[in-house]
């Protein structure tokens, strides 16, 4: 095989991995689980989001936890595909971002999806799990003190680029693609929370309440 043909083949495989990551990310697990368990549309209840928090409010803790795990898993799966079939750091990060975009803008639901927090956690758990662990600790602390899921999520997203930079590898800064990709992922998550941020500033953002048990 010529060098040109090999390069072309590599580009095709990379593009397929990125496209597959988007398709994986676009699977609306929260919507599916609520539809299966309650027969309703999670987008028409609570915050209207398809993520774990709104699924928990709508269908209970078990459905919310399952959504959290599945949304994280699809992000991790997209990154794994790129790592396994290509191995390029740039393609791995692009696949991770594609999975997040798929979650936030799934074509199955008219490009109206979730905010990408759990999917981002899955993506960066593969890239740099200590950074994700640190972000989770921050999320828990903010949530424990202020009881706002949106504030906890935005805080964790904002901290993730710094955590990845510090914790990626001892004595070594992460590759530029990872630093830039982490920053873009944080910006995406924060932008998806802009309505929540406006309500937090206005003092009208609701605090999280545990779902009531069905009679």
**What are the boundaries of each domain within the chain?**
3-202
Q: Once rounded to an integer, what is the mean pLDDT over residues 159-186?
A: 93
Q: How far apart are CA 83 and CA 47, in angstroms?
A: 35
Confidence of residue 172 (pLDDT cuts 50, 70, 90): confident
Q: How far apart are CA 36 and CA 45, in angstroms?
A: 15
Kindly report, residue by residue over 113-150, the tens digit of the pLDDT: 999 999 999 999 999 999 999 999 999 999 999 999 99
Q: At how many degrees (to 10) do helices 176-192 and 117-146 cross?
A: 60
Q: What share of the chain in percent tops pLDDT 90?
A: 83
Q: How far apart are CA 145 and CA 33, in angstroms?
A: 30
Q: At how many degrees (to 10) do helices 52-59 and 29-38 cross?
A: 10
* Three-state secondary structure of 106-132: CHHHCCCCCCCHHHHHHHHHHHHHHHH
Residue among 109, 99, 98 nearest 31 (CA): 109
pLDDT recorded at residue 214: 46
Kindly report, residue by residue over 72-112, the tens digit of the pLDDT: 999 999 999 999 999 999 999 999 999 999 999 999 999 99
Kindly report, residue by residue over 12-54, the tens digit of the pLDDT: 999 999 999 999 999 999 999 999 988 789 999 888 899 999 9
Determine if residue 111 is left, alpha or beta; phi over 0 gives left, psi from -120 to 50 gives alpha, anything else beta.
Answer: left
pLDDT recorded at residue 4: 57
- Distance separating the N- and C-terminal Cα atoms of the chain: 67
User: pTM for this structure?
Assistant: 0.92
Q: How far apart are CA 105 and CA 61, in angstroms?
A: 25
Whether 171 has a pLDDT exceeding 90, the answer reads: no
């Amino acid at each position: 095989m010529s060098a040109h043909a090999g390069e072309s083949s590599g580009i095709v495989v990379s593009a397929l991995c990125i496209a597959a990551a988007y398709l994986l990310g676009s699977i609306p697990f929260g919507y599916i689980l609520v539809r299966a368990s309650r027969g309703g549309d999670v987008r028409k209840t609570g915050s209207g989001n398809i993520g774990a928090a709104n699924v928990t409010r709508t269908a209970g803790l078990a459905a919310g936890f399952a959504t959290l795990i599945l949304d994280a898993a699809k992000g991790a799966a997209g990154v794994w595909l790129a790592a396994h079939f290509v191995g390029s750091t740039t393609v791995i990060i692009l696949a991770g971002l594609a999975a997040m975009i798929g979650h936030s803008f799934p074509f199955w639901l008219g490009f109206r999806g979730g905010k990408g927090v759990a999917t981002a956690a899955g993506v960066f758990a593969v890239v740099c799990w200590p950074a994700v662990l640190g972000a989770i600790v921050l999320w828990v602390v903010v949530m424990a003190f202020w009881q706002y899921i949106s504030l906890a999520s935005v805080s964790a997203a904002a901290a993730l680029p710094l955590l990845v930079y510090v914790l990626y590898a001892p004595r070594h800064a992460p590759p530029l693609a990872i630093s830039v990709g982490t920053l873009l992922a944080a910006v995406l998550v924060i932008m998806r929370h802009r309505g929540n941020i406006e309500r937090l500033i206005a003092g009208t953002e609701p605090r999280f309440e545990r779902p009531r048990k069905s009679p």
